[in-house]
Chain A
Amino acid sequence: MSYTPVVGIEIHVELKTKSKMFCGCVNDPFGAQKPNIYTCPVCLGMPGGLPVANKTAIEWTIKVGQALGCEIALFSKFDRKHYFYPDLPKGYQISQYDQPLCVNGLVKTEFGDVRITRVHLEEDTGKLIHQDLNGQKVSLVDFNRSGVPLVEIVTEPDIKSPEMAKAYAKKIRQIIKYLDVSLADMEKGSMRLEANISVQTEEEKQSEQLPAYKVEVKNLNSFRYIERAIAYEVKRQGDVRDGNTLPTQETRGWNESKNQTFAQRSKESAEDYRYFPDPDIPPLLFTQSYIDSIKDTLPLLPDQVIATWVAKGMKESEAQILSEDRANVLLVDELFQKSSDALKIVTQLVNKKIMLSSNVDDIIAQSKVLTQTNSVDERELEKVIDEVLTENAKAVNDYKAGKTQVIGFLLGMVKRKLGNIDTVVLKEALIKKLS
């Protein structure tokens, strides 16, 4: 039977604020040289520790929501989400339950649209390292990461293929980096991905019915793994459904070396997190003008950048390439301001005729050099080369006798007549003539 993948993705992004979400501890879990050096009564879950929310983290979450086309709530709050685990010091995580900061957004990918259900803000947990210690199986706990602000982006199950999942994840990463609110580094853990995967029968698809189960796959920390894991799961689940049963609703992990998912824990009984509004944190009430003022600070997003550049005459393919990285966007914008040859320079950059640099003036200078050299007519060049070879017969003979280094001298002679030109092109032409 053929099945349609039905995939929703949850992405967690660590915000790169200076301090943690609910306390003033340093926010640098990956860079910390030692464990448990960035903690305080609040993020260590000490008696009497009280959370106070980070304003910047809230604003950045709103920005993320706005960049994803979400509606921003004018009333929001933090809720306590209860469960027990050694990396969760308070025995609850401060998160958002029924009134998140952002809802109902949309992200476009080349494979189709993905609806964003919600974007909310919460705190990260500590980290566990599992190992053997003195013959015992233990977990070493480090709370440097406890309390780091975490944005959670949840989609509707609109993703229909591994490729689409990858495209979506890449798009999110790109937008996050545009906003400059996180390093979004999947290897270092500042961007984490989970997928909720099920497969839909033709019948279910026709009647727009979602399958009555879903499998959660966690810890997919690269785009490649996302694609592979989804592909694997779609096949695995399809095989199960072929046998007329539903796959078990469970959480699975991804085994990189075997390229397989594996069962972790069963989700037959949904967790009871006993959410309630955190009494330590007064609610958030925003005015529309405040929300609008945050939106005003949004940079142009990738799609908008491409549209703007194309309107200026850039080729769409060039715009795609240069808009990948926000740093380049700033460069190109500056280029348009400083040079009337911006379009030409852009093409030269894309074709790697000149090199990217963090300095726009440097790029312009490189281009000038290139332009000057390229302005030599081919016939003109031939004529000058012939002249030089005639005038320097001895050198020509030396070259033909095997002293190939003499080419440098001949290059110089041509340049004397023509000015500074593309050495590579010239050398090619000279060698051709000499043989």
Chain B
Amino acid sequence: MSIISTQTVAHIADLANIPITSSEEETLAAGFTTTMGVVDQLSTINTTGVEPTHQVTGLENILRDDVVDTDRMFSQKQAIANAKRTHVGYIVVDQLIGQ
């Protein structure tokens, strides 16, 4: 059974860009451990020589021709309509440290 530590939880939260409090770290670690217990059952199944299935449809080579599709393109107004902060057509974010 994999025991997930709070350090692991903190690292994952960082990777996943999810803000969590230190109390949440505890609950999450416990929940993960339960879940990973279920997941660990997978190791009891023999999969030697078995190919992983990424795609159940069996589809291949689904490509589009190089043409412009104006039907789906947004106007500038539509593109930024749901953004909280905009400025002369740009979407605005706080500058990250180190720019």
Direct contact between the two chains A and B in their complex (CB within 8 A): yes
Chain A residues with a Cβ under 8 A of chain B: 17-19, 23-26, 34-42, 44, 52-58, 84, 86, 91, 128-130, 133, 136-143, 264-265, 272, 274, 277, 279, 281-285
Q: How far is the CA of A264 from the CA of B98 in the complex (A)?
A: 7
* Interchain CB contact under 8 A, A143 and B79: yes
- Quick one: which of B55, B62, B76, B91 contacts A141, CB cutoff 8 A? B91
Cα of A284 to Cα of B62 in the assembled complex, Å = 8
User: Is B42 interfacial (CB 8 A cutoff)?
Assistant: no
Contact (Cβ within 8 A) A55 B93: no
Residues of B whose CB lies within 8 Å of any CB of A are 15, 17, 54-55, 57, 59-76, 79-80, 87-96, 98-99
Contact A19 B68 (CB under 8 A): yes
**By the criterion CB–CB under 8 Å, are B90 and A129 in contact?**
yes
Contacts of B87 in A (CB 8 A): 133, 138, 140
Contact A282 B66 (CB under 8 A): no
Q: Do B63 and A53 touch (CB < 8 A)?
A: yes
- The chain B residue sitting closest to A38, CB to CB, is B73
- Closest B residue to A27 by beta carbon equals B68
A24 touches B60 (CB 8 A): no
**A-B contacts, 12 listed (Cβ < 8 Å):** A25-B72, A35-B88, A39-B74, A40-B69, A55-B65, A58-B63, A138-B92, A139-B96, A142-B91, A282-B55, A283-B54, A285-B61
Beta-carbon nearest neighbor of A37 in chain B: B76
Question: Is A44 in contact with B74, judged by CB distance below 8 angstroms?
Answer: yes
Complex Cα gap A143–B70 (Å)? 16
Choice from B54, B63, B88, B91 contacting A277 with Cβ under 8 Å: B54
Q: Does B98 contact A265, Cβ atoms closer than 8 Å?
A: yes
Chain A hits for B66, CB < 8 A: 17-19, 54-57
B70 (CB) vs chain A CBs: closest residue: A24
* Complex contact A39–B73 (CB within 8 A): yes
Asked if B60 and A141 make an inter-chain contact with CB atoms under 8 angstroms apart, the answer reads no
The one of A17, A138, A281 that contacts B94, using a Cβ cutoff of 8 Å: A138
| Residue from the list A24, A140, A285 in contact with B92, Cβ < 8 A | A140
B65 touches A137 (CB 8 A): no
B76: chain A residues within 8 A (beta carbon): 34-37
Complex contacts, B17 vs chain A, CB 8 Å: 84, 91
User: Are B94 and A137 in contact, with the CB atoms below 8 A?
Assistant: yes
Contact across chains for B94 and A19 when beta carbons are under 8 A apart: no
Given A40-B74, A53-B64, 18 new contacts (CB under 8 A): A24-B73, A25-B68, A26-B73, A35-B88, A36-B89, A37-B76, A38-B73, A40-B73, A41-B72, A52-B63, A129-B90, A137-B94, A138-B87, A138-B94, A139-B99, A282-B57, A283-B55, A284-B61
Nearest CB in chain B: distance from A56 CB, A: 4
Residues in A whose Cβ lies below 8 Å from that of B69: 19, 23-25, 40
